[in-house]
């Protein structure tokens, strides 16, 4: 399960049981993250959390790093049995917007930040899956 954590919204993506393909799940209000994950875990098995980690090109923190740190702390506290992997999220929002353009989404839909966040989480998870599969 992957998260593109934000101050207002969190994009969420999941993968299939074989861990081959990432799929966007939803975008939720950031304040509802804990409740959402608790409910999700009642019916689904999650092997690990993949969290987008925002940094500048020199690896210094960004304004989003504090948000990501809080999210990781929350997930660690409430789900200590689920390991967390931090994944570089540089350019995921840009890639998400490019993907939306390639999918032919209308300009109005491309401005919907909820869609961008969900696609960004999907890109994060797919990148992670590729890295562990060695492809």
Sequential DSSP letters for 65-77: HHHHHHHHHHHHH
Kindly report which listed range (58-62, 75-79, 90-94, 115-119) carries the lowest average pLDDT score. 90-94
Give residue 71's pLDDT: 95
Tell me the domain boundaries of the chain.
Answer: 2-133
pLDDT tens digits, one per residue of 13-24: 999 989 999 999
Counting every residue written for the chain, the total comes to: 135
Phi-psi category of 104—alpha, beta or left, where left has phi over 0 and alpha has psi -120 to 50? left
Architecture of domain 2-133: 2-Layer Sandwich (3.30)
d(CA 23, CA 16): 8
* DSSP at 32: G
pLDDT tens digits, one per residue of 33-75: 999 999 999 999 999 999 999 887 787 888 888 999 999 999 9
Per-residue 3-state assignment (H helix, E strand, C coil) for 2-14? EEECCCCEEEEEE
């Amino acid at each position: 399960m992957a998260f593109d954590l934000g101050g207002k919204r969190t994009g969420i993506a999941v993968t299939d049981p074989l861990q081959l393909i990432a799929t966007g799940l939803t975008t939720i209000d950031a304040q509802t993250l804990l409740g959402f994950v608790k409910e999700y875990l009642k019916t689904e098995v999650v092997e690990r959390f993949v969290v987008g980690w925002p940094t500048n090109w020199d690896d210094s923190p960004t304004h989003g790093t504090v948000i990501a740190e809080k999210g990781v702390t929350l997930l660690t506290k409430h789900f200590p049995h689920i390991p967390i992997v931090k994944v570089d999220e540089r350019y995921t929002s840009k890639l998400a917007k490019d993907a939306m353009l390639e999918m032919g989404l209308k300009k109005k839909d491309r401005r919907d930040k909820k869609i961008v966040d969900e696609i960004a989480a999907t890109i994060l998870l797919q990148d992670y899956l590729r890295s562990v599969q060695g492809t």
